[in-house]
Amino acid sequence: MGKPMDKSNNGHAKLKDLVVVTLLSDLDQAKEYQTLLKLNDIPATIKEQFDPAGEHKGVAIMVPEDFLDEAHVVIESQDAYDDFYDYALEDEDEVDLDTDYLDDEF
């Protein structure tokens, strides 16, 4: 998939040209997503969101609008991988290996 944005700007876009991909409550997860997007050649930035009272609402992951669809795909793919990994670990914990199961009948 070709990227319409000129790479000569080194991924630096004006904040007004950026759109929110996702809003998270955890700064560490936001940094992981930012790294993931950058590894996929998608310029990404993090912007903390505050309500009018100054309370922390969350962290926005922002990308240039031209990269929005691709950023959604990358993040959704990572979420699907994480869900699969979590499911696999849950199943592993439930397996009860008794000695009869491991005996060979040869």
41-100 pLDDT tens trace: 999 999 998 888 878 789 999 999 999 999 999 998 887 666 555 666 665 555 555 555
Residues 6+ apart with CB under 8 A from 17: 64, 65
Q: Which domains does the chain have, with CATH numbers?
A: 13-94 (3.30.70.1530)
The whole-angstrom distance between residue 101's C-alpha and the CA centroid of its chain comes to 39
Collapsing DSSP to helix, strand or coil, 13 comes out as coil
Report pLDDT digits (tens) over 2-24: 444 444 444 455 556 899 999 99
Reduce the DSSP state of residue 63 to 3 states and report it: strand
Reduce the DSSP state of residue 47 to 3 states and report it: strand
Provide the token pair at 35: 């790294």
Can you point out the beta strands (E) in the chain? 18-24, 45-50, 56-64
pTM of the model: 0.60
Contacts of 11 (CB under 8 A, 6+ apart): 38, 43
